Structure formats: structure tokens, C-alpha cells
Structure 1
Amino acid sequence: MAPPQGNIPANNGIRRGLRRRSLLTGAAAVGAAGALGATTGCARVDVTGAKSGGQLLDDLRSKGTVRMGIASEPPYASINDQGELTGEAPAVARTIFQRLGVKDFEPVPVEFGALVPGLLSFQFDVIVAGMFINKDRCQAVLFSDPDYESKDGFLVPKGNPDRLKSYKDVADRGLRMGTGVGYAEYDYAVGNGVKESKIQTYGDQIAGMEALQAGRIDCFAGTALTMIEALKTGAHPKVGMTDPFTPEVDGKPQRDGGGYGFRLGETEVRDAFNRELQKMKQSGELLRIAKPFGFTEEFMTDLTAEELCNK
């Protein structure tokens, strides 16, 4: 269990890296779903569920506290230098849970790869990390609708001398591209004709920026929001960024979005959360909350969890 708010070490031993699109893969997905099935006494759990499924919301209201599983990745969620929980996802989640009658929160920082196992083993009540919603993860996690839509961006030499706007540009110009281990940007690049021999993977965006500044690659691909956050450090003055864009493969836009994860079957709290989230979208409150963390109108979305789970 994490220490109470305000007494969390600033770094907490968590590696800061881009992991928005890394998949819950193979045995991990099967094992997680199997573990949940064992606890519920059934082999499969209906991810659509009845509208009144689960008792988590009642339990949270009774306790008055929600435990939020986070991975340290600004601007989505992180612990700042003062040991305080910050980021777009916690700011939105706190607002919604307070309106659902849950006043307090407890951050539980873990590695990104431990978020789904931690949720399923009841280490925390909800994943609050801007986690990308995809078909694999939806086999083990009940997602809220997304509260943001992701765009991609390239880190490039200052001034963008190769005039990059898309993965096709990288392929057409035979450029060397960097991205993170397990990132979907790798597949987007290959899907647009970039040769795998031209793609180098790095542990995070900072390592990518160092490779770019040293001339080992011509661009580094990742989610635009994290690229923006990386540039704020000011540690790589020769590095700039392209405008955010929606990647395409075979002419089809690859729209992605991130949301909040609950255990399968907990449809009551998920649906209540969605209702409040929808109100915030319609009123513009969601954008007002997200703006201080670098989110703009172009990152707001009308996508649903159902669309992304079936993508």
C-alpha cells in the first residue's frame, strides 16, 4: 500500500517512459483474465455487463477513499518533487469520484506494466494513468470512455529540416527513426513503408532525444503530449517538435484514446463514472481541468470505450 498523500518520495523508483500504447500481451493477458475468472467463479466475464454490476461504488462510498493506481508519466499522472500526486488523469478522477460521494484518494504508484496485475489483485480500485484502451487490455479491464484522444508527434532537429509531417514522409525520405520499446509508433512506421532496419528503439523519450541530438537518428516518434512534456526540460536545445498528427495506416486514421480502468464486472461504478465524464465533456469542464497539463481542444474526443475495445 502506498504511503498517504504528501509523503511519497518524488521519484519512488519508477522509470519515466512512454508506455501509452504498450500492449497487455500474451500470457500476461491470459493470466490476468484467468485470475479474475477464478475469483468470480466463472471462466469468462462479460465485459459489457449488466448496468448494475458490482459493489465497488458502494464500498468506496462507505470507506470514503479510492485507491488510484498510477504510473509516473507526466502529463498523465505522476508524483511531483513535493511528493504530491499530479497530472491530468488524477485531476479528472478526483473531481468525478468526489461527485460520486468519495471524498478522499490514495495514490498507489507502480510500474506501468504492473497496473493491470495490480488492479486485478486488488492493490488499488482503479487505474488512473491515461492508459490506452485496446482490444487486448479490454479482455482484462473494464474501461471508462476515453477522456482524451492521442495524437503522435516527432521530435526532430530544431526547425524540422526534413519537413516531416507523417510516417510516410519518414519512409519516402529513407530517414532513421527512433521510438520506444513496444510502442505502436513502430508498427505505424512499418505500416507506412519504413524499413525495420531504419528503426531504433530506446527506453524512453529522453534517450531518444539524446540520440537525436547526437545525430544517430533523424526523428523520434511518440505520443505528442509526452513529446511536449519532454521538451519542457530544456535539456536538449537542438531538438524541436513537429505539429501533432493522427497517424494513418493504409489510408485509415489510427485513432487512440486513454481512459480509466476498473475490474471486469464493476459496471455500476464504471457507468456512474462515465455519466459524470460525459457531463464534463459537454460543459467544457474537462478541457478546463486538462489544460494546465498541456491538453488542448485537439486532444478532446468523442470516442467510446466500446469503439476502442472493438478496434
Structure 2
Amino acid sequence: MKVRIAYIEEPPFYWTTADGSVTGSDIELAEVVLRAIGVTSIEHHLTSFDEFLPGVQEGRWDMNVPIFVTAERAEHVAFSAPVWALGDGFVVHGGNPKALVSYESLAARNDARLGIIAGQVQLNSAKSAGVSGSQIVVFKDQPEAVAALLAGKIDAFAGTAVGNRVVAGANKQLDAVAHVVGKEGGAPVGAFSFSKGNHTLLQAVNEQLRQYLGSADHRARMAKYGLMETEIDSVIGGKR
């Protein structure tokens, strides 16, 4: 049994290493789950973010690595049980010279420009907080946005707080700033996605996820990539 899974370049969740292999927290999670349900061959497909949903809908591959679940996306694909909950944050220049600690703080500065990857949920979050269209620069992927930040073309790049820590760790002239999650609601969740007609694979993956998520093995594997209790506990119902 072979399963084709699509991913993009976004450490620590999924990326291609220097030797051409594919790794990351969600890649490892997918492998554990798929092997447990009897999959013998896993084929990775590198794609762009805006091709995720069309690609799985059209059958170019069988499933996508986890992305944020939204009502709009759920109109096009079927999501698995959630696998993590991630708060947003910024990657900024070292020392955070413009004191950009939230979308609201960036919106308050007319001289601040924010980089966002096309199609990702951070765009709506920024706009909802009052960031104007003239302050937003859209990029095709994370490497392009980080390059623009390093070149001084933008003042911050919006992404997940976990992913941003990896970016800042790899670029000593940058800092990661996590946004505070409000008490009125938790961080948004992410899940694998499938075509709506792929009920068999979705059901099998969900059954295995419910058994595996929150286990000691799951927690240890995710911790290697910087995902800790904060990102896991809210989606597993207190399972230990």
C-alpha cells in the first residue's frame, strides 16, 4: 500500500534536508501513523502552499501534511483529527527595533511592513487586527520571506511561534517574538487533509491518531522539533 503526501519547506514541521531526504515533526508523525495502518511505501511531494488543496482534491497526491483548519478550507477538503495547536508570532530584526509584538502593534506603526506567505491564515489575522494592505507584503514561501527580512525589505515575518523559533535560531541577526494567546480562545489547530472522497484513508488515519496522540512516544518525537505540551495538550483531551 502506497500513500503520497504533499509538503512544503517550513521547518520544523516539514522540509528537505541537504541530502534530499524529507524530515520534520509532521513528516515523522505521518510516517508513524501511516506505517501503523499498514502503509508500506510513502512518497513525498514537494509543492507550494497554494497547491495544497487543489493537489489533494485532484488526486495528484493522497494527503497533505497538517495545516491550520479553517471553515473555508473545510469546504474543499476533509480534515483529520487535529494534531497540534499553534499560536502566531513574528520573526523580526535583532533587538526588535520597532517593538513589534502583535498584529495590533504593527498596525499602529505606518512605517512597519509585514511579510506573510500567500494563502496562510496569518493574512486574515493581520487584517482583522487592523494591519492595512499597504503594510503587507505577500511571499510565495518562507525562504523568500526570510530573505526579504534579512535584506531589510520588511520589518517582520508572520508565522507560527514554533516555526519562528527555528528561523531565528538559524539566523542570528533575527529574533522570534511569540504573540500572547488571549484567554477568550485557544490557539488555532492543524490537521492532515484529504480529498472528500478518500473516506477509507481518512478513517484509518483518524483511528490511529486517536490512539497515538499524547503517548510518550508521540511527545518524545515532537519534542525533538520543539513542539512541547503547549502545542499538544489542547488537542488530545488531557490524554497522557
TM range (shorter): 0.7 to 0.9
Taking a change above 3 Å as real, the CA distance of residues 278 and 170 of structure 1, as seen in their structure-2 partners, is same
Distance 1:183 1:148 in 2: 16
Distance 1:105 1:182 in 2: 26
Contact kept in structure 2, 1:144 and 1:274, CA below 8 Å: yes
Q: Deviations over 1:158-177 (max 9, x none)?
A: 12344433222223444513
Q: Which has the larger radius of gyration?
A: 1
Report the equivalent of 1:282: 214
Report the equivalent of 2:127: 190
Distance 2:211 2:96 in 1: 40
Contact kept in structure 2, 1:202 and 1:208, CA below 8 Å: yes
Report the equivalent of 2:5: 68
- Amino acid of the structure 2 residue aligned with 1:243: A
Contact kept in structure 1, 2:33 and 2:205, CA below 8 Å: yes
- Amino acid of the structure 2 residue aligned with 1:69: A
Equivalent positions of 1:115-264 (< 5 A) are: 115-127=52-64, 129-180=65-116, 181-234=118-171, 237-246=172-181, 253=185, 255-264=187-196
Taking a change above 3 Å as real, the CA distance of residues 100 and 207 of structure 1, as seen in their structure-2 partners, is closer
Q: Deviations over 1:31-72 (max 9, x none)?
A: xxxxxxxxxxxxxxxxxxxxxxxxxxxxxxxxx332222333
Distance 1:197 1:272 in 2: 45
Distance 1:119 1:216 in 2: 34
Three-state SS of the structure 2 residue aligned to 1:300 is: helix
Taking a change above 3 Å as real, the CA distance of residues 254 and 208 of structure 1, as seen in their structure-2 partners, is farther
Q: Does 1:302 align with 2:239?
A: no
Identity fraction in percent = 26
Contact kept in structure 2, 1:209 and 1:239, CA below 8 Å: no
Distance 1:65 1:208 in 2: 34
Contact kept in structure 2, 1:178 and 1:202, CA below 8 Å: no
Cα offset for 1:303? 4.4
Query: Gaps (5+ residues) in structure 2?
Result: none
Taking a change above 3 Å as real, the CA distance of residues 263 and 217 of structure 1, as seen in their structure-2 partners, is closer
- Amino acid of the structure 2 residue aligned with 1:160: N
Report the equivalent of 1:86: 23
Distance 1:122 1:217 in 2: 37
Cα offset for 1:107? 1.8
- The two structures have a TM-score, normalised by structure 1, of 0.65
- Amino acid of the structure 1 residue aligned with 2:178: D
Q: Deviations over 1:91-137 (max 9, x none)?
A: 1111112221223322233333333333233332222x222222222
Distance 1:202 1:106 in 2: 27
Contact kept in structure 1, 2:4 and 2:63, CA below 8 Å: yes
- The two structures have a TM-score, normalised by structure 2, of 0.81
Contact kept in structure 1, 2:66 and 2:193, CA below 8 Å: no
Cα offset for 1:244? 4.8
